[in-house]
């Protein structure tokens, strides 16, 4: 790979200016690594817990200890982590179906949830498929203001009118595929303090995807009853082969566990089939890997933003981050596709293939995805994707190592420079 002098200069300018920000990211990584290691120590993690189980998986010590470690790291009363949860969407589905009953309301207070939840909620897809709506669960939504803050008046209106039926108050921490701001843990804590007295019996559920370990605390530390995420994002550290987790209050996690397996069986079953070690190792790496991804995102913002190739970017290169996603708003299908081609070409795996837009299950528009990852679809590994719709935003995320992330970003910049003749 050869990069133009202009791009090489941009990268070195970026790194000089980003040095203090990178130092702060390292501090967060240190705090979170210590939290993980303290939990390993507290729960006496030894190589015996890596032993696989099969069949029912009764008395799987590795599984039980990992759940306890995970709960500690997330400042939660309880947690479960399973390699058998296929993705973040399934983990969210387990959590929502675990808590919601016919006649209840799910109230999303941070705008529209992630695209793949539309069919789960019943806001799209065929009636009769078994969505929450099919089971008599209603849905309400309050949008965020354009500056990313909560619309407290709109939230209060719904809670005043129907608060007795609201069982889940749902907050998506990360922007996902929307042009909005990602919420900080502080902002989540503040809004929980606001809604709690208005609706004391509801569970506050946070879609925590992409947020883990970007800050020193998770939403469970500021009052969330349940947080949910995917192991092929931040908390799997690039090591977990697949999986998802739920952490939260003892009762909320117990209810979710009955949806994970069955009412009664809960967390007492579930063979680990030899996947335990990679989940422990992933958690061990996760704070560091997340830091690598954050640094890669800052670099991307600098290179694609106003100091570099001139796109609108969110967040800006010098803004504090609460997730690992970097949006680059390209305003053209060509721009979006060029970024994805460049990321793919700058990946360790499948660097020779060319990504094309496709109809991905669960998404309403065509999506283009660049992913040259060791683990299929892993987005803690450097990846870029975006739906083919206005304003053609590329969502970049991940980077197992800053060095490889940097190569990927420079490759994307080179492809954009060439394709758009910038
Ligand atoms: C990734 C993600 C999900 C879940 O997506 P999967 O592809 O099913 O893992 C949900 N919410 C947000 C905000 C996400 O980023």
Q: Whose CA is nearest to atom 6 of ligand 1?
A: 88
Pocket test for ligand 1, best of 82, 83, 86, 89 (most atoms within 8 A of CB): 89
176 CB within 6 A, ligand 1: yes
172 CB within 6 A, ligand 1: yes
Pocket test for ligand 1, best of 119, 205, 207, 293 (most atoms within 8 A of CB): 207
Q: How far is the CA of 330 from the centre of ligand 1 (A)?
A: 22
Q: What pLDDT does residue 215 have?
A: 98
Pocket test for ligand 1, best of 176, 232, 290, 395 (most atoms within 8 A of CB): 176
Residues 6 or more apart from 388 whose CB is under 8 A from it? 333, 336, 357, 365, 366, 367, 368
Q: How far is the CA of 380 from the centre of ligand 1 (A)?
A: 12
Q: How far is the CA of 88 from the centre of ligand 1 (A)?
A: 5
383 CB within 6 A, ligand 1: no
174 CB within 6 A, ligand 1: yes
Q: How far is the CA of 326 from the centre of ligand 1 (A)?
A: 15
Q: What pLDDT does residue 176 have?
A: 81
Q: What pLDDT does residue 360 have?
A: 82
Ligand 1: nearest atom to the Cα of 90: 8
210 CB within 6 A, ligand 1: yes
pTM of the model: 0.96
330 CB within 6 A, ligand 1: no
116 CB within 6 A, ligand 1: yes
Pocket test for ligand 1, best of 209, 293, 383 (most atoms within 8 A of CB): 209
Q: Could you read off the pLDDT tens digit of each residue along the chain, which spans 422 residues? A: 789 999 999 999 999 999 999 999 999 999 999 999 999 999 999 999 999 999 999 999 999 999 999 999 999 999 999 999 999 999 999 999 999 999 999 999 999 999 899 999 999 999 999 999 999 999 999 999 999 999 999 999 999 999 999 999 999 999 987 878 999 999 999 999 999 999 999 999 999 999 999 999 999 999 999 999 999 999 999 999 999 999 999 999 999 999 999 999 999 999 999 999 999 999 999 999 999 999 999 999 999 999 999 999 999 999 999 999 999 999 999 999 999 999 999 999 999 999 999 988 767 889 999 999 999 999 999 999 998 999 999 999 999 999 999 999 999 999 999 998 88
Q: What pLDDT does residue 325 have?
A: 96
The edge-to-edge listing of strands for the beta sheet with 367-371 is 312-314, 326-329, 393-397, 383-387, 367-371
Q: What pLDDT does residue 87 have?
A: 98
Q: Whose CA is nearest to atom 4 of ligand 1?
A: 88
């Amino acid at each position: 790979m050869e990069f133009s002098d202009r791009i090489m200069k941009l990268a070195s300018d970026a790194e000089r200016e980003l040095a203090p920000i990178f130092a702060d990211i390292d501090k967060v990584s240190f705090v979170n690594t210590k939290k993980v290691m303290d939990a390993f120590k507290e729960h006496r993690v030894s190589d015996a817990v890596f032993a696989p189980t099969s069949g029912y998986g009764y008395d799987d010590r590795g599984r039980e200890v990992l759940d306890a470690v995970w709960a500690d790291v997330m400042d939660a009363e309880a947690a479960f982590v399973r390699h058998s949860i296929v993705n973040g969407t399934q983990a969210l589905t387990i959590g929502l179906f675990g808590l919601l009953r016919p006649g209840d309301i799910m109230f999303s207070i941070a705008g529209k949830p992630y695209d793949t939840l539309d069919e789960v909620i019943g806001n799209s897809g065929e009636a009769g498929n078994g969505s929450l709506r099919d089971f008599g669960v209603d849905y309400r939504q309050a949008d965020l203001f354009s500056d990313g803050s909560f619309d407290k008046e709109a939230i209060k209106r719904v809670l005043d009118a129907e608060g007795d039926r609201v069982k889940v108050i749902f907050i998506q921490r990360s922007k996902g595929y929307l042009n909005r701001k990602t919420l900080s843990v502080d902002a989540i804590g503040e809004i929980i303090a606001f809604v709690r007295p208005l609706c004391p019996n509801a569970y506050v559920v946070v879609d925590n995807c992409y947020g883990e370990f970007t800050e020193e605390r998770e939403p469970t530390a500021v009052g969330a009853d349940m947080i949910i995420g995917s192991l092929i994002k931040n908390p799997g550290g690039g090591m977990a082969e697949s999986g998802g987790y739920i952490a939260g209050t003892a009762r909320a996690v117990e209810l979710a566990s009955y949806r994970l397996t069955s009412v009664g069986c809960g967390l007492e079953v579930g063979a680990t089939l030899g996947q335990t070690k990679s989940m422990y190792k992933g958690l061990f790496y996760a704070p560091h890997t997340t830091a690598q991804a954050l640094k890669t995102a800052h670099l991307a913002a600098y290179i694609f933003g106003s100091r570099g190739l001139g796109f609108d970017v969110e967040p800006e290169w010098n803004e504090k981050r609460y997730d690992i996603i970097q949006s680059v708003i390209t305003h053209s299908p060509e721009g979006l596709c060029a970024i994805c081609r460049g990321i793919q070409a700058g990946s360790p795996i499948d660097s020779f293939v060319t990504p094309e837009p496709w109809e991905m299950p669960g998404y309403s528009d065509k999506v283009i995805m660049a992913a040259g990852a060791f683990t299929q679809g892993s987005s803690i590994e450097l990846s870029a994707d975006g739906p083919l719709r206005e304003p053609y935003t590329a969502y970049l995320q991940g980077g197992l190592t800053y060095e490889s992330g940097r190569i990927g970003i420079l490759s994307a910049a080179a492809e954009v420079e060439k394709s758009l003749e910038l």
